[in-house]
Each structure stands twice: as structure tokens, then as C-alpha cells.
Structure 1
Amino acid sequence: MPAAPRLRDKAALAFLLVPPLAWLVIAYLGSLAVLLVSAFWRTNSFTGAVVRTVTLDNFARVLTEEVFRVTTVRTVGVAITVTVVCAVLAVPLALYMAKFASPTMQIVLVVAVTTPLWASYLVKAYAWRMLLSPEGPLSWATGYSPGYGLVATVVTLTYLWLPYMVIPVFAAFQRVPDALVDASSDLGASDLTTMRLIVAPMVFPGIAAGSIFTFSLSLGDYIAVTIVGGKTQLLGNVIYGQLVTANNQPMAAALSVIPLVAIVGYLVAMRRTGALENV
């Protein structure tokens, strides 16, 4: 290839890549860097102003105060529970959509799964608040409602993030060759054996990919728990309280490191499953 066209191709590639990379470095990574740096600052106890002196007091409080430890465990537990429930609901639905539904029904189900994503987050959360109210429709119809609290938070978050699990699992099932399943059956394997030894390993990366969304979104959510959580507190609420109510930006930044580390650790773990190739 002549040198001139090669230089033009490199210039065109640089022209396309520089703006998004600059945005990533300056806006995204830059804000994370400011967040991490501010976690080492402190606030003036009298004026509430941020004092830019390096200290580890915020991290010491995060590690030693029981309220933060309990909230962290609760938040991770909610994120894991939501992820597991989403997977349990998504796998049979995605299997039916990919392998058993007619083309028309498949389109209908895909639209049904993705349509809630177009609705406002707040509308959906407040709809569940009304539904789960002790005097709401669920109580009228069944005589029981969990009310507001941890269960309501898990139910609401599961509803909100379920499409993010269904779509990658559906795509994973679609990539399973029918001929491979038929060959397993012809060789005498039962349906359960085929699912366990043939289908499950091929679909698991899709489940892992969906779990990245459900886990990270649940870990950082603070609006749904505010609406339906009652007295339940998750890390997002505590961080919001430190930032807005207590006016303690350094402490809020130190607490924000917890979900950041958890998500990075989860991504590293999921990378080994091939999930990032299915995102």
C-alpha cells in the first residue's frame, strides 16, 4: 500500500477515535479520578467546607463503623438476590422465545420484554409502590402484601432490570445450533442431560453477561429503595445522604469506592466466563 493512502487512513481513524476517547478520558475517567482524590479530603467541622488535606479518616470510618458494614452487606446481598431471581425468570422465558415460539410470537415476546425499557423509571417504581402498598391492589386481590421494605425493593429492582437479563440469555439460546441438540438426542442423551452438558455451557456466558447489568444496576440504585424500601437503607441512599443531607462530599466519595471496587471485581470474575464478549 502506498504511504500516502496509509497516512490518510490513519488520519481518518484518528479523527474518528479521538473525540470519543477524549470524552472517555476527560469526562468519565477524570470524574472518577476526582472522586477518588476527594475521598482523601475532609470537611471542616464548623463550616462544613471541604479541606483539601490528605487523610485516611474517611476510609477508617467506612471500615470500622458498623452502620456502613451492615449497609454494604445488605446492598451486595440485594444485588446478588436480584441477579439470581432475574436469571431464574429469564432462562425459561428466553428458552421458549428462542427455541419454541413461532416467529410471530417471538417478535411479540421480544417487544413485550423490551417495551418497559421505554417507560420512565420513576413511573415504574411508583407503580410498584402503589401495587405493594398495604392497602393496594395486591392486598385486595390476595389478602397479602409485603408492604414497603427489603422484599419490595428486591421485587421492584427485579422488575426494572429483568429485560437486561432476558435479552442476552435469549441471544445466547439463539446461538445454540439445533443440529447439536438433535445430535445429542440421537446419541441417546435425555433432555436433562442435553440441557446440562450441551446447552448450559453455551448459554452460561449470556447469563453472566446479563448478570453484569443486573448486579451493577442494583448495586448503585438508590431511587427504587427510596420509593418502596421504607426504612431500608442501601449504599446508594447512604452516599446520597452524606452528599446532600450531611454535606460531606469526602465521606460520600469514600463510600462510593465500595460499589466501584465491587463492580470492578465482578467484571474481572465475569471476564473468565466469556461474558464480556456477550455484552
Structure 2
Amino acid sequence: MTDVTTSVARPAVPAPRESMARRGSIFLSKHPRVRLSLILSAPLFWLGLVYIAALAALLITALWTVDSFTGQISQTWTLDNIITVLTGSLYQTVTLRTVGVALLVTVIDVAIALPIAFYMAKVASPRMQRILVIAILMPLWASYLVKAYAWRSVLSQGGIFDWLVSPFGGQSPGYGLPATIITLSYLWLPYVILPIYAGLERVPDSLLEASGDLGGRTFPTLRLIVLPMIWPAIIAGSIFSFSLSLGDYITVNIVGGANQMLGNLVYTNVGAANNLPLAAAIALVPILIIFAYLAAVRRTGALNNL
């Protein structure tokens, strides 16, 4: 008798489907623009929420008024606050003073930062470069208020600065705009040195050697070769010092005495005067100034190489 073996056919096992993650990865690899949009969506959303929405709220608040009897904010839109800021002699004077201080601080910081950054990038040894970078970053670890009050003590009458210059017939500037400019220049100097140092590091040493081999002197080499190459870095540092000086008000209160800047007017109207719409209108002025500064810099083409 012959055994008949009956084989039972097994159902075919389907191939495992690709997971959603794998299919999404394949799709994103084939569509780089979609991948870039997803990467930028979160920071752009945060930028729009925190910055652009805040600017819109600031502009809307500047169009409101404060009831002179109740002190309550009236949400009736009007241009009175903006007209007052643009036409008032006090605000024009303070605006010119603020812009002048910011420009002078920027010029001082750039003039000090250039030789320091050049020495760090082209002269100092690698070990000395690290030491100098740490030395420049160390003031940033200290409190802003501690540094401002330290300069108040240094520049006050009978302070350290007065003690140093009195044998030569000099005296301390005391409280006022000179003390404000000195303190702001010290506070923002690291923000100017580091971009210029990074720009100088990208300048090839071979260019400087070639200029020396061809008989180029030091200052023509710096002016004709180095300066055009590091101009974007100088612009980047100037943006830091100019914008930070433009909106500062704490340093002016500590070392500036009665000299007011735009930040002080904003603080006064928010606190003592309780006039938030007027404070918002004043706050629009430094924003417009920095936008105008960035537009002027952009026309030079320096931002294209950052």
C-alpha cells in the first residue's frame, strides 16, 4: 500500500510594509525644500510669536491713549503719541543724544578691538590666543550691574581714576555723558572683538606674506588688503555695540547722572508716569533707527559676506 502524503499549502507571507518613518525619510530625502521648511518652521514660528508679534503689539499700544482723569488706558486709536515724539523738542534732543552716544561707543570699541583682534589672530601663539579669548570672555561672566557699579566707583570723584590722573593735573569725569560712554564702551567691547577676531582668522597669512615680499608697508597692507576682507566682521561688531548702546538705560541711571537717553524716557513713562502708550511710541524710535542702520549697511553689501 502506497503512502500518499498530502501537503497542505501554506499561505504566502506578505512582504513587510515599510514603516511610516522610513517612508517619511525617503520622501524628505527626495524633497529637500520640504525638509528645509520643516527644519525652519519651529524657529520661524517662535520668531514670529516672540519678536514680530511683540513689535505689532508695541505699535498698536503706541496708538492708544491714557485718560487724563482716571489714568486708565483708552484703546481708541490715535496718532497723538507718535506726533508728540516726532515733533517734541525734548524727544528730538534725547534722540540725537542717544544716537551720538551709540555712534561714539561704536567708534571707540572698533578702534580698540582692531589691534587686539589682529594681535590675537596673526601675532599671538596658539596658547596665547586661547588665553586672550578667555580673558575677553571673562567679563561676560560677571553681572551687568556689578560692572556698571564698579565703573561708577572708579569714575567718581576721589575714585581710582581720579587718584591716577590727579598727579598730572587731570580729574575724573564723574557722572555724566563721558562716564556713560566709557562704561558702555567697556561693556560692549567683547561683542566687537570676537567678530573681528573671527574675521581676521579667515584672512590667509599668504596674502600678508605676499604683500611684504612685494614691498608693501604695514599700513597700506592693512588698509588695502586686510580691511576690505574684515569689513563684514567690523559691521557685525558695530551692530552689536550700536544697538545695545541705543537701548541701554541702566548704565545711564548708574553713571550718567541726569543725562537721559531714549531708554530712560521709556522707563520713566512706564514706571513713574504710568503712560504705557507714550512709552511704546518712544520705544519705536530706536527700533526705526536700528532698522535704518541695517538698511544703510545692507546697501554697502557688507552683510552679504557675513
Q: What TM-score range do you get, normalising by the shorter chain?
A: over 0.9
Are positions 1:181 and 2:208 aligned together? yes
Task: Find the counterpart in structure 1 of residue 27 from structure 2.
Answer: 7
Are positions 1:274 and 2:302 aligned together? yes
Task: Find the counterpart in structure 1 of residue 97 from structure 2.
Answer: 74
Give the distance between the partners of 2:244 and 2:87, measured in 1 at CA: 26
1:93 to 109, 116, 124: 116
Q: CA-to-partner distance for each residue in 1:57-108, whole Å, 9 max, x for gaps?
A: 1111112211100000000000000000000100011111111111111111
Are positions 1:127 and 2:150 aligned together? yes
Give the distance between the partners of 1:95 and 1:27, measured in 2 at CA: 37
Task: Find the counterpart in structure 1 of residue 53 from structure 2.
Answer: 30
SS of structure 2 residue aligned to 1:230: coil
- TM-score normalized with structure 2 length: 0.86
Give the distance between the partners of 1:159 and 1:91, measured in 2 at CA: 15
Q: Is the 8 A contact 1:208 1:273 kept in 2?
A: no
Report the alpha carbon displacement of residue 29 of structure 1 after superposing the two structures with TM.
1.0
Report the alpha carbon displacement of residue 196 of structure 1 after superposing the two structures with TM.
1.3
Q: Is the 8 A contact 1:132 1:152 kept in 2?
A: yes
Report the alpha carbon displacement of residue 6 of structure 1 after superposing the two structures with TM.
4.3
Are positions 1:250 and 2:277 aligned together? yes
Report the alpha carbon displacement of residue 12 of structure 1 after superposing the two structures with TM.
6.5
Identity %: 51
- Summarize the Cα distance change of 1:276–1:114 in structure 2 as closer, same or farther, 3 Å threshold: farther
Report the alpha carbon displacement of residue 33 of structure 1 after superposing the two structures with TM.
0.4
Q: Is the 8 A contact 1:209 1:276 kept in 2?
A: no
Q: Which moved more, 1:264-273 or 1:174-183?
A: 264-273
Q: CA-to-partner distance for each residue in 1:192-218, whole Å, 9 max, x for gaps?
A: 221111111111111111000000000
Task: Find the counterpart in structure 2 of residue 112 from structure 1.
Answer: 135
Give the distance between the partners of 2:85 and 2:264, measured in 1 at CA: 15
Q: What is the identity, as a one-letter code, of the residue corresponding to 1:222?
A: Y
Report the alpha carbon displacement of residue 184 of structure 1 after superposing the two structures with TM.
1.6
Q: CA-to-partner distance for each residue in 1:5-49, whole Å, 9 max, x for gaps?
A: 343557765654333222211122111100011111111001111
- TM-score normalized with structure 1 length: 0.94
Structure 1 residue ranges without an equivalent (≥5): none
Report the alpha carbon displacement of residue 181 of structure 1 after superposing the two structures with TM.
1.2
SS of structure 2 residue aligned to 1:55: coil
Q: What is the identity, as a one-letter code, of the residue corresponding to 2:163?
A: W
Q: Which moved more, 1:250-259 or 1:190-199?
A: 190-199
Report the alpha carbon displacement of residue 171 of structure 1 after superposing the two structures with TM.
1.0
Give the distance between the partners of 2:179 and 2:305, measured in 1 at CA: 33
Q: Which moved more, 1:55-64 or 1:15-24?
A: 15-24
Greater Cα radius of gyration, structure 1 or 2: 2
Q: What is the identity, as a one-letter code, of the residue corresponding to 2:264?
A: N
Q: Which moved more, 1:164-173 or 1:3-12?
A: 3-12
Are positions 1:151 and 2:151 aligned together? no
Q: CA-to-partner distance for each residue in 1:121-157, whole Å, 9 max, x for gaps?
A: 0110011011111121221232221001000000000
Q: Which moved more, 1:6-15 or 1:215-224?
A: 6-15
Give the distance between the partners of 2:264 and 2:218, measured in 1 at CA: 46
Q: Which moved more, 1:149-158 or 1:238-247?
A: 238-247
Equivalences for 1:44-55 in 2 at 5 Å?
44-55=67-78
Report the alpha carbon displacement of residue 276 of structure 1 after superposing the two structures with TM.
6.4
Q: CA-to-partner distance for each residue in 1:241-269, whole Å, 9 max, x for gaps?
A: 11111111111111111100011111122
Give the distance between the partners of 2:36 and 2:259, measured in 1 at CA: 50
Give the distance between the partners of 1:199 and 1:277, measured in 2 at CA: 15
- Summarize the Cα distance change of 1:83–1:34 in structure 2 as closer, same or farther, 3 Å threshold: same
Report the count of equivalent residues: 277
Give the distance between the partners of 1:196 and 1:7, measured in 2 at CA: 51
For the aligned residue pairs, the C-alpha RMSD in angstroms reads 1.8
Give the distance between the partners of 1:130 and 1:211, measured in 2 at CA: 28
SS of structure 2 residue aligned to 1:159: helix
